[in-house]
Amino acid sequence: MQAITKTNFKFPGQTKLYEGKVRDVYTINNEQMLMVVTDRISAFDIVLPRGIPYKGQVLNQIAAKFLDATADIVPNWKTASPDPMVTAGIFCEPFKVEMVIRGYLTGHAWREYKKGKRSLCGVPMPEGMTENERFPEPIITPTTKEDVGHDEDISREDILAHGLVSKNDYVKLEDYTRALFQRGTEMAEKMGLILVDTKYEFGKADGKIYLIDEIHTPDSSRYFYKGGYEERQAAGQPQKQLSKEFVREWLMEKGFNGQAGQCPPEIPDDFVQQVSDRYIELFEKITGEKFIKTPDENILERIERNCLQFLTN
């Protein structure tokens, strides 16, 4: 199985290439983008040394499904899917914040709560909560969007004070975030899942706000299985979840948690296979569709061919 960890295409009209942690974004004539979702995998904001076969296809196809399913809530950047690992769309100037919304006390929020903190990004968290417990209402806990290094928690007040987003736009981002999370929650429930937390990114084109990047994928979101949630919670047991949290847990077991000066451990073949299988399982559980593996061919050649065909049509 091939894993695509780097691309370096030269498309007609290409004006920029941005390499993110997972996505390579090609800007064409400063008006449209081709986003190639690679098989790179990151944890703790660090790109790990090995790629995961089929991961890019899984993420791209889940995001495409949810972008289409939420287009009535907020316009999004997607215009086409020229390849199983590529989304084409409108060139947007991204806001410098990511909108994180949490329905349950887990992950980063729980780690902060355990330290005794009762506020996250300026949002209060009730006393007496347990890990994975549902918040009375979902809370929005934004982060900065850094090109390099770790994204940092930031409060609504600091976002406005630093002029990262105007007040009018920020109010809209909050409204869109809550509405998208509600839709995602309803769609997850139909699949027997709980959408626990997620993040959304937004940008602007011609003065209009668009939802950009991925949405409701296991890289940007956490899901619990709905069946048995209450029983596990009452018994103080860990929740059965669908996310890449299991990768973070494996890394922490190996003594890596993304701190300065740390090098991620080497990922053995059997764990790469395990992660690939888990991502395919995630796709099928989240979408309710069978995952169709793309043919075993030269993936880079296929992506380039499909993108060129899209651009010249």
pLDDT value of position 67: 98
Its pTM stands at: 0.91
| pLDDT tens, residue by residue, 27-43 | 999 999 999 999 999 98
Residue 148 has pLDDT above 60, yes or no: no
As a whole number of angstroms, the distance between CA 244 and CA 40 comes to 13
User: With contact defined as beta carbons under 8 Å apart, do 205 and 92 qualify?
Assistant: yes
- The two tokens of residue 22 are 């997972």
Within 13 Å of residue 13, how many CA atoms lie on the same side as its CB? Answer: 12
pLDDT value of position 150: 64
Q: Where are the domains of the chain?
A: 14-92+276-312, 94-245
pLDDT value of position 17: 96
Closest CA to 208 of 92, 40, 73, 56: 92
* pLDDT-derived band at 270, boundaries 50, 70, 90: very high
Residue 265 has pLDDT above 90, yes or no: yes
Give the Cβ contact number of residue 172 at 10 Å. 15
Residue 8 has pLDDT above 70, yes or no: yes
| pLDDT tens, residue by residue, 202-229 | 999 999 999 999 999 988 999 999 999 9
Which of these CATH numbers, 3.30.470.20, 3.40.50.2000, 2.60.120.1030, 3.40.50.740, describes 94-245? 3.30.470.20
As a whole number of angstroms, the distance between CA 33 and CA 115 comes to 42
Q: Which residues pair with 42 in a beta bridge?
A: 47
The mean pLDDT of the chain is 94
Mean pLDDT score, 130-146:
95
* pLDDT-derived band at 147, boundaries 50, 70, 90: low
Domain 14-92+276-312: CATH superfamily is: Phosphorylase Kinase; domain 1 (3.30.200.20)
Give the Cβ contact number of residue 119 at 10 Å. 12
